[in-house]
Each structure stands twice: as C-alpha cells, then as structure tokens.
Amino acid sequence: MVRQYKSNEAKVKDVDSKQGLVKAYFAVFGNIDSDGDIIEPGSFTKTIKERGPEGSGRIKHFKWHSSRDVPGRIQELGEDEFGGWFISKLSNTTLGKDTLIEYEEGIITEHSHGFEIIKEDHDESGINHIRESKLWEVSSLTAWGANPLTRVDFVKDIKDEKTLLEAIEHITKYLTIGRFSDQLLKDLEQKYSQLTTIYNSLITKEPHYVTCKNGHKFDYNSIPESGMGYVKCPKCKIACTQSADEPKEKEAELKRYYLGKLI
C-alpha cells in the first residue's frame, strides 16, 4: 500500500486554551478533492476502532506530516456527517505550547491526514470513491501547509517576488504576535533574514556607480559579487566595494512595512 496525504480547510471546531485541547476535522466527507477522490462516510470507522485511542493507539498527531514534530497526543477520534475529526491534548513542551498559540491566533488553518487506501471504486464519471482507509496520522498545518521553519532548500526554491512577499508576511505574523518560544522566534528571525536577502536580490536595482582605485567607473549593481561585499572591476579586475554611506532605501522600506514597531 502507498501512503497518501490529503488536506482540508475545514474550520477548527474548538480550542480549549486552559486544558490545551484542540478539536478539528482531519478529513471532509462527500466532496471531490483535487485528486478526483471522494472520501465516503464510514471510511475511517474500522481504522479508528483498531488503531485509535481505544485500540492500539498507533494514530499520531503530527505537524506538517513530520514524525519529528509531535505537538500532542490524540485523545479521541471519530466521524460525523461532516467528516473525520480528532481531539488532541497538546503537550507541555515548547512545540506543544507554540502550537496552542498558533491555534489561538488563527495561524493553523488547515488539517490533513496520512493514510493508505484499503477499499475504493470508480463510478461511471471516473470519480474515485474511497470506502475504507488505514489512518496513520493527522496533521496540523499552518496557512502555507508547511513548516514556517521549512528547510533552507525550500527557501531557495522561492524565486518570484509575490511568493517571497507572501512568505515574509506569513513569518512576520509570528514575529508580530511575539508570544512564541524564544527558540521559535530566533529561528523565524533567521528565516526572515534569508527571505529578505533573496527578495532584495530580485528587486531591480538602481545603477550605483563606483570608481575603482585605478580610476575605472562602472555600475556596481551590474556586476555579480565575487566575495563578501565586493565586486571586481570589469576592466582591471581589482576588488571594489560600495561606498560606506550608500543608501539602502529598498531594504529599509521592506523592514518598515513588515516589521512595523519591531524595528
């Protein structure tokens, strides 16, 4: 069997901040998803009985489908006419506390589940009806459906300005709230710095003319940097830096817009 993942944007049903409990839907019944599948009512009945809290307890609560990120322990699993739901007791760990804040602040907006299809059939129109699944885990997702501390290779994959701005705005929401753990905020600040550096590299830069020690004048911004803060003169190849008092309006404007009173 192949493990699959499906997410939904169903609203969180309830958050009990005092008890650290969250109730939400991990699956929605009866609608056609982007894969052309319909999850049918009762598809989780057997797996919940066998693997849920009252069975072997093998169904876990993850974040971003990562087995390294377990914010809480599932207390109840069930189904109703709308879909499959879970109740999780968030742990007293840093991850659990940060996850609770994410729920309180509306940052966690989606949920998903990892599963294997046991029984399915296709109707005349080609739609696949999932009749029975083996549930492995349910996951809490942020607005991006991914870890805000996502690995550096993901950050480098973001190449267009619009996506970068959305990522920066998403992380800035965490920084503005400021209630999260020191470690999370530190990691987010580092990620913010990485994203803004990439963003600044994509902005069309105004010409900035400099003169090297040999008297050759050229546009500094038109030459790729050869090292830390310098380029080589296109004529004599001597190292040349920007003037120390060069204005950085775009960078300052970006920081003012997104960090507000944080800067």
pLDDT at 158: 57
Question: Are 114 and 19 in the same domain?
Answer: yes
220 located within any domain: yes
Question: Are 18 and 114 in the same domain?
Answer: yes
CA dist 35 and 119 (Å) reads 16
Q: At what angle do helices 249-259 and 161-177 cross, to 10 degrees?
A: 50
Question: Are 108 and 183 in the same domain?
Answer: no
The enclosing H or E element of 150 equals none
Question: Are 191 and 167 in the same domain?
Answer: yes
Question: Are 128 and 26 in the same domain?
Answer: yes
Question: Are 138 and 180 in the same domain?
Answer: no
pLDDT at 259: 54
Question: Are 13 and 137 in the same domain?
Answer: yes
The tens digit of pLDDT for each residue in 27-65 reads 999 999 888 899 999 999 999 999 999 999 999 999 989
- Token pair belonging to 214: 């040999």
Q: What is the pTM of this model?
A: 0.69
Average pLDDT over residues 19-23: 95
Neighbour count for residue 256 (Cβ, 10 Å): 12
> How is residue 89 annotated by DSSP?
E
Helix (H, G, I), strand (E, B) or coil at 250: helix
Question: Are 45 and 103 in the same domain?
Answer: yes
Is residue 219's pLDDT more than 50? yes
Is residue 153's pLDDT more than 80? no
Range of the domain at 50: 3-142
Domain end: 142, 162, 195, which one? Answer: 142
Question: Which pairs with CB-CB distance under 8 Å and at least 24 residues apart come from 251-256?
Answer: 251/196, 251/200, 254/168, 254/196, 254/199, 254/200, 255/196
Mean pLDDT score of the chain: 83
Question: Are 89 and 162 in the same domain?
Answer: no
Domain end: 142, 171, 199, which one? Answer: 142
The domain total for the chain is 2
52 located within any domain: yes
Beta carbons within 8 Å of 2's beta carbon, 6+ residues apart = 116, 117
Q: Out of 181-185, 222-226, 238-242, which region has the weakest mean confidence (pLDDT)?
A: 222-226
pLDDT at 256: 55
Q: Out of 116-125, 140-149, 201-210, which region has the weakest mean confidence (pLDDT)?
A: 140-149
Closest CA to 71 of 14, 167, 10, 142: 142
Is residue 239's pLDDT more than 70? yes
Question: Are 66 and 160 in the same domain?
Answer: no
Question: Are 163 and 239 in the same domain?
Answer: yes
Backbone angles phi, psi at 15, to 5 degrees: -130, 120
Closest CA to 75 of 83, 92, 63, 87: 87
pLDDT at 157: 52
147 located within any domain: no
Question: Are 120 and 158 in the same domain?
Answer: no
Share of the chain above pLDDT 70, in %: 81
Tokens 């049903």 sit on residue: 13
CA dist 148 and 33 (Å) reads 25
pLDDT at 10: 77
Q: Out of 105-119, 156-170, 190-204, 246-260, which region has the weakest mean confidence (pLDDT)?
A: 246-260
